[in-house]
Structure 1
């Protein structure tokens, strides 16, 4: 039996093997089965958030330890296990001496107890119904923290018990979320397979499948929601016009049938008049009696000719309207098919376009000011792009843009936003990132682009870019920050290209 190759088939087979082997549906077990079927190495994901939390808890006591903390941060950014290991080992060795012994106070400070109680309430709300033991433990801890003189030892014991119960609840909820996500992916994939003929629906399904690939972020889900809403709005308007056009077609068909009935009635009336006149002609005795009958024939023929001309003109006009409506219906179906692809993405590189960038930038600036964290962006421009087009053609130029977008997507973090700003220019928005860190990100992208081979007419072409980086000021707009990054990028071009400069 051939192993499944499509993602949806592999997912279904992985769930089946979990059931056959009586394994708990945890993310680790599911990943092991999935990778086993897909012939992929079962490598654990890089725990960037946990390592950052651990590094953040370290306090430097000398200049060497400060330098090593920076190296640890850079290694985490590069996802380098060896770098992280060397950094932590060096930090421990550079400490020297014995750490001061921490002496717990006899009574918790009131402000600390209040903040800790608030934190417990937030955890309680986040974990929801975590079982009787957790509810009781949290309630007891809150009573102790809000008492007149919280005993640190008692609070510590209660906190340890609560943390123990909460760890199980959090793990279970995490596994439930992962399982629900897998089920959602299966359902969406199945809908896509059942709706292959509806290309407009398949476009939305493909986009949704791409959005729910772990690790999930609120930014990705929010972007997908905006795209779907935009597509649904366009499809709703197109559907309304389509319904109106179909109603018009029905009305025209009714008019056509009525016109045919009128023509048939006129023809029958004309035939009846001619037959009556012919019968009268058989009774004529003299030429004088024949004249009025001939006049009746002429009048009837003239009337029939006029009726036929009117009907012919009306039918010709009706035919033109039918053809116009049919063309409109075809155009509406094309709009429905293309609506999913338009939205807020660049059709060539499949990254955000200017409209999508404006919305993402506005969202990130609002988050920056709400959380009081740094936000940086970079504007990059491909070096010698005109020379590439002139030598290898515009098709090669387009493929170079796609190549850069693909490499950038693989290199930046899931929280970063990539957009095509225009021509050969791209913008990368980097939340919670200083200008110095953004320069490191762009320098790393330059290295990755150098390693990635690009072929034009079977010739290896080195794609490089120059970039400017700007960290947004407290009251600065996104447009002004992009202008500063653009000026820095121009200076990078003047300095020799393939460089990154800060604004």
Structure 2
């Protein structure tokens, strides 16, 4: 058979074979025949990212093992690695099968035997307390429960004096003899006790400020471990330490429940505020900020950012309230003056009406023209008086009206400023990420945090490739949408503690706290890959957006200006090397 090379001929022959072989005309059958005629190999299957993400999202996440599986599957989907996805899932299922094969019968028999046995320093009440604690804290995970029960029985067995029904005694562990290999370990025992005591006093007691009793217990345990010198004292210390650990675990559960309840209360409060201020658009931005915080894992950076934004709005709100109060008072004075003028005008009109009636009677009774002249003078005088009163009232009302208009204009200006302040005080108007003012503040905080905790801080500066050409060919509106798309991909890809800021034009700054320089390079490279995967759409057309980036690590002698300058130089080096790459400074 002659091999066809023209795509049109191959397509026509594939359709002919579909009809001749009576094969259903499905896309897969057509593709198979097309490749058979063309003599090409089947194309690699498309990675089913959407379906695998949906599967991973539907899996439960109630235990540490399930959470670890979810994280592994998510990483495999991001890397489009089907082998990793399959292996992680297979390992998890195999672990479940092993869990079902746990020797529960042997464990329960050992538990019953240990329960009846006599143990040094352990009463039945203490055994019941420790067993109930293990069952309560680990009942949801069979494997964890099995391991903890084994550890519990092992701890009981170490203090056993006599096994019930056997009459045999188990000697307590003897101290190491001089000259043995374990004698070297005794030299480290005092240092170990001091380290343990230091941990109890600093790392634990300092974290229990709101629980004075537990803090006092931690300090007492620290003092006891320093002075413990015999096996009996060590056993007593271990027993008390276990009780202390149980109390700490209960406290942690109480605090987690308290935090959950407070967040629910805050969520209800936010929803109530949203319902009450439907017409105040400027408050909705702040409600969205708070809602975004309580719906995500709490972080100090997010709280600091929200606090700064809310303080600005509260200040603007106080100005708005003052102007609203002034406008309200002006309107009240206008209405009061208007009512007074109406009363005065009504009274003056009434007098004027009475006097005009008197003049009419005089005119009717007049006998000659000289009497009419006097009456006409009175009419002119009263008319002028009523005219002056009306003109004065009109001028006063116009002045009050002008004040009200000025107050209304000021209120509208403040409302516009407040609405803009809600989102734009420290955030870029177009993309929603931090602007340069917000970057300066968060940069200062991150530098301080890095110095206090002795951690690394890396800075990346990225610039969209060929952005001017994009603007010229597709228009500035499309260019703006491209900037928004880049900012969105950055927020979706980076960690919650990372910071994205628009530095100017098509340049963005990324702060990566607690990140080494090599890891920061990997992060920006992954961001490039995500940007090519998540296409920017201009209508129905896909537009490929790439960027060049420079990344550097903050040094002790650096300032914000010097580290950004170094990242900027690296970014221009990436531009010169062909664009769409990351250069490390």
TM-score of the superposed pair, with normalisation by structure 1: 0.73
SS at match of 1:285: coil
CA deviation vs aligned residue, 1:127-186 (integer Å, no higher than 9, x gap): 467798x67863552122443869896677765664455345434533443454345334
Match of 1:271 among 341, 350, 353: 353
Pairwise mapping of residues 6-405 of structure 1 onto structure 2 (< 5 A)?
Answer: 40-43=58-61, 104-106=185-187, 108-109=189-190, 113-121=193-201, 122-127=203-208, 138-147=218-227, 162-163=244-245, 165-193=247-275, 195-405=277-487
Is the CA contact 1:377–1:470 (under 8 Å) kept in the aligned structure 2? Answer: yes
Distance across 2 between alignment mates of 1:239 and 1:404: 39
Deviation of the 1:236 alpha carbon: 1.6
Give the corresponding residue for 1:479.
561
Is the CA contact 1:107–1:149 (under 8 Å) kept in the aligned structure 2? Answer: no
Give the corresponding residue for 1:499.
581
Distance across 1 between alignment mates of 2:63 and 2:479: 35
Per the alignment, do residues 318 and 188 of structure 1 end up closer, same or farther by CA in structure 2, a change over 3 Å counting? Answer: closer
Per the alignment, do residues 375 and 403 of structure 1 end up closer, same or farther by CA in structure 2, a change over 3 Å counting? Answer: same
CA deviation vs aligned residue, 1:62-97 (integer Å, no higher than 9, x gap): xxxxxxxxxxxx99x9999959x99xxxxxxxxxxx
Is the CA contact 1:365–1:375 (under 8 Å) kept in the aligned structure 2? Answer: yes
Stretches of structure 2 lacking an aligned partner (at least 5 in a row): 1-53, 70-74, 89-180
Distance across 2 between alignment mates of 1:115 and 1:237: 57
Structure of higher CA gyration radius: 2
TM-score of the superposed pair, with normalisation by structure 2: 0.64
CA deviation vs aligned residue, 1:300-339 (integer Å, no higher than 9, x gap): 2233333333333333333333333333344444445444
Stretches of structure 1 lacking an aligned partner (at least 5 in a row): 1-35, 52-73, 87-99
SS at match of 1:430: strand
SS at match of 1:325: helix
Q: Which moved more, 1:396-405 or 1:151-160?
A: 151-160
Is the CA contact 2:524–2:582 (under 8 Å) kept in the aligned structure 1? Answer: yes
Per the alignment, do residues 440 and 310 of structure 1 end up closer, same or farther by CA in structure 2, a change over 3 Å counting? Answer: same
Give the corresponding residue for 2:177.
none
Per the alignment, do residues 258 and 191 of structure 1 end up closer, same or farther by CA in structure 2, a change over 3 Å counting? Answer: closer
Distance across 1 between alignment mates of 2:268 and 2:185: 52
**Structural RMSD (CA):** 3.9
Distance across 2 between alignment mates of 1:136 and 1:301: 94
The alignment of Structure 1 onto Structure 2 pairs a total of residues equal to 428
Which has the bigger relative contact order, CA under 8 A and spacing at least 6? 1
SS at match of 1:414: coil
Is the CA contact 2:228–2:234 (under 8 Å) kept in the aligned structure 1? Answer: no
Is the CA contact 2:205–2:219 (under 8 Å) kept in the aligned structure 1? Answer: no
Per the alignment, do residues 104 and 218 of structure 1 end up closer, same or farther by CA in structure 2, a change over 3 Å counting? Answer: farther
Is the CA contact 1:127–1:170 (under 8 Å) kept in the aligned structure 2? Answer: no
SS at match of 2:186: coil
Per the alignment, do residues 383 and 219 of structure 1 end up closer, same or farther by CA in structure 2, a change over 3 Å counting? Answer: same
SS at match of 2:571: helix
Is the CA contact 1:127–1:169 (under 8 Å) kept in the aligned structure 2? Answer: no
